[in-house]
Amino acid sequence: MVWVELRALRDDIDLGTPPRDGAPVTLSIDGVDVTVPAGSSVMLAAATAGRPVPKLCATDTLAAFGSCRVCLVEIEGRNGCPASCTTPVEAGMRVHTRSERLDRIRKGVLELYLSDFPEEDLPGGWSEFHETLATVGVTSHPYGRGENHLAAPIDRSNPYFVFDPAKCIVCSRCVRACEEIQGTFALTIADRGFRSAVVASQGESFLASECVSCGACVQTCPSQALIEKSLFEGEYERAHPTQA
């Protein structure tokens, strides 16, 4: 990431992917013409055009990753629904960020995330995950209470923040922030599929790991799985799950 490009970032708008500094490229987002630098993502162009695409794993301080599958779009003349965060803009491109098919796909993806997230933490939630759920209109899921991570132990070892894996959506933003912003490489994603989990070092507590408490992981977490202890008057407590 080139630091001169980061000067274009604004605190009140997350472009989804880092800004670029190339030649101007004009394309259409939902019928709105927008001009952005070459090398920009379709997601950045959509945000610039005032047509932001729902997202979870993307943020403009980290390189695009394309794992959450929430930011899909339709591009005229192309098959499928590519991820807008990893798709570069092209001159004359005509992009659609909303359609019946996209709404259906996003709803299904978010329902899967929600099926392994504490439902008691949905009302009044203010994380980016909650905002994305509200944007897409997802408040529940059709799945029963199957195998989940809701009882995974909370890591309270760090003096400044806690890690609650029940709220982790394994988007890798904390891992990428630790690598790309801090350069510590203290976090990783262990295992695969349902067993995928964020771990510190070799499965150690945050305090025992190489973590230097810089806060980059906490700042970038979209679901409040990593959250500052100072936000709570007492000790952080997980909401008790309701009976299925």
DSSP structural state of residue 8:
T
How far apart CA 230 and CA 235 sit, in angstroms, is 9
Considering the domain boundaries, does residue 75 fall inside one?
A: no
In a domain, 182, yes or no: yes
Residue 216: CATH number of its domain: 3.30.70.20
**From first to last of its 244 residues, what are the pLDDT tens digits of the chain?**
443 444 455 556 789 999 999 999 999 999 999 999 999 999 999 999 999 999 999 999 999 999 999 999 999 999 999 999 999 999 999 999 999 999 999 999 999 999 999 988 888 888 999 999 999 999 999 998 889 999 999 999 999 999 999 999 999 999 999 999 999 999 999 999 999 999 999 899 999 999 999 999 999 999 999 999 999 988 998 776 555 4
Tell me whether residue 214 is in a domain. yes
Helix, strand, or coil (residue 183): coil
How many other β-carbons are positioned within 10 Å of the β-carbon of residue 72? 22
Domain-embedded: residue 188: yes
- Per the domain annotation, does 136 fall within a domain? no
Kindly provide the residue ranges of all beta strands, DSSP E only, lying in the chain, ordered along the sequence: 24-29, 32-37, 74-75, 94-96, 161-163, 187-190, 197-200, 226-228
Parallel, antiparallel or unpaired: strands 24-29 and 94-96? parallel
Which domain does 200 fall in, by range?
Answer: 161-231
State pTM to two decimals.
0.90
Closest Cα partner for 152 from 225, 62, 86?
Answer: 225
Alpha carbon distances (Å) from 112 to 55, 92, 98, 115, 148:
15, 35, 20, 5, 11
Q: Taking a C-beta distance cutoff of 8 angstroms, is the pair 182, 215 a contact?
A: no
Asked, for residue 126, whether it belongs to a domain, the answer is: no
Answer whether residue 41 is part of any domain. no
Closest CA to 85 of 152, 31, 14, 138: 14
**How many domains does the chain divide into?**
1
Q: Is 207 inside any structural domain?
A: yes
